[in-house]
């Protein structure tokens, strides 16, 4: 952080832009918080079959990512799933 | 070849009708044959903004229901011989017209006009669907506010889903003093977020209120908004016109303050 950052305050225009970006991502994906919660629970169920994960620390969100094709940004589902143990206690192997 | 352009926004009160009136008048000034259609059935507005409210005999719904011929309903603007208005019905509601009927009506007008401009109602319901049904091209009007931009984004999605081929953005009511101090999103912020081509940026201008009071579109006059609308008309015709310099020139002291704020 430079000395000048000390003087820099986030303007209301910046705040508006940041808020809009977030709200549009979920608008465009047509995903309500309820749906996100359901997706999250399903992911926990599926992964838990194979390994022990930290359900509390799991974080999913819809973000923008650069597309491989050249059609600009596309929405992407980002999931951060902390693993507690690679070997599941109940796995039979 | 005629082109059908819908002026839409999602949110109300951002300047659709003002834009329709000014762009239509501007295109007529450039010797194009233009018809403006007010598709906001039940909330007629374009006629008063154009100053033609005293000349209405028949309206859009009358034409569609066959109560009159198209020629009888079209109001010729005496100031511009190339410009006509098809007013909306004030005492009916949106359900009086279907998208198919709109498409048929527009096809009939294509024969006589170069540009058919549709003033779309706010919202995304029936009235919006009617207005976009026959459109080749859309101008999405927004202001640099979160609510208007969010609605514009939704509209852009719906236009895309309905296969309107060309969609361009007009950022209306910019206040450069506020943009300058960071209290309003600038043009780049808005185009970044909405990710469509910009066709015009119109500053907030007292002259707009005055011109609307008088029922005389201000396109082509010497004020900033008048110039901005004239530029939009040229861009619609496919000409490359540089964007107006809306920047407010600042004093040395102002520049110094900027340097401190920015870094």
Which of A5, A6, A16 is the best residue to mutate to test the B interface, defined by the most B CB atoms within 10 Å of its own CB?
A16
Six token digits for residue B189: 């912020």
Determine the pLDDT at residue A59: 82
Tokens linked to B183: 């209290």
d(C-alpha A45, C-alpha A50), whole Å: 10
Chain A segment 14-43 residues within 8 A of B by beta carbon are 14, 16-17, 19-21, 23-24, 27-28
Q: Is the pLDDT of residue B198 over 70?
A: yes
**pLDDT 10s digits, B144-161:** 999 999 999 999 999 999
B109 vs B112: CA distance, rounded Å: 6
Q: Does residue B261 carry a pLDDT above 70?
A: no
Per-residue pLDDT averaged across A46-63, rounded?
86
- Domain of B75: which CATH number? 3.40.50.300
pLDDT beyond 60 at B18: yes
E-strand stretches of chain B:
3-8, 34-38, 75-76, 83-86, 115-119, 137-142, 166-174, 197-203
Specify the pLDDT at position A62. 75
Alpha-carbon distance B87 to nearest alpha carbon in chain A (angstroms): 35
Cβ–Cβ under 8 Å, residues B88 and B39: yes
Domain that holds residue B212: 3-262
Q: What are phi and psi of A81, to 5 degrees?
A: -120, 100
Q: How confident is the model at residue A77 (pLDDT cuts 50, 70, 90)?
A: confident
Instruction: Verify whether the Cβ–Cβ distance A8 to B179 is below 8 Å.
Output: no
Contact criterion met (CB below 8 Å) for B35 and B46: no
DSSP secondary structure string for all residues of A20-33 = HHHHHHHHHHT--H
How many domains is chain B partitioned into structurally?
A: 1
């Amino acid at each position: 952080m430079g000395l000048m950052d000390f003087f820099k305050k986030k303007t209301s225009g910046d705040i508006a832009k940041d808020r809009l970006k977030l709200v549009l991502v979920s608008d465009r994906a047509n995903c309500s918080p309820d749906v996100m919660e359901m997706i999250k629970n399903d992911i926990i169920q599926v992964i838990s079959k194979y390994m022990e994960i930290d359900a509390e620390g799991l974080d999913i969100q819809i973000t923008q990512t650069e597309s491989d094709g050249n059609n600009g940004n596309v929405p992407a589902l980002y999931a951060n799933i902390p693993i507690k143990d690679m070997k599941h206690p109940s796995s039979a192997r | 070849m005629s082109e059908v352009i819908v002026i839409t926004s999602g949110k109300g009160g951002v300047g659709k009708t003002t834009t329709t009136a000014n762009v239509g008048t501007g295109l007529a000034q450039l010797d194009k044959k233009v018809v403006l259609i007010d598709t906001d059935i039940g909330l007629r507005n374009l006629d008063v903004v154009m100053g033609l409210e005293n000349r209405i005999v028949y309206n859009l719904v009358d034409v569609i229901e066959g109560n009159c011929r198209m020629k009888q309903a079209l109001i010729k603007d005496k100031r511009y011989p190339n410009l006509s208005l098809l007013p909306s019905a004030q005492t009916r509601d949106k359900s009086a017209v279907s998208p198919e009927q709109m498409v048929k009506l527009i096809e009939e007008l294509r024969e006589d006009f170069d540009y058919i401009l549709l003033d779309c109602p706010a919202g995304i319901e029936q009235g919006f669907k009617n207005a976009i049904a026959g459109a080749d091209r859309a101008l999405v009007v927004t202001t640099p506010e979160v609510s208007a931009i969010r609605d514009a984004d939704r509209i852009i999605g719906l236009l895309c889903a309905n296969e309107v081929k060309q969609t361009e953005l007009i950022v209306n009511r910019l206040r450069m003093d506020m943009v300058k101090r960071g209290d309003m999103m600038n043009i780049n912020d808005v185009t970044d977020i909405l990710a469509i081509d910009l066709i015009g940026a119109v500053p907030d201008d007292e002259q707009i209120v005055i011109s609307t009071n008088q029922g005389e579109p201000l396109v082509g006059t010497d004020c900033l908004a008048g110039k901005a609308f004239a530029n939009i008309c040229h861009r619609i015709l496919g000409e490359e016109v540089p964007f107006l310099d809306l920047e407010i020139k600042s004093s040395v002291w102002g520049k110094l303050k900027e340097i401190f704020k920015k870094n």
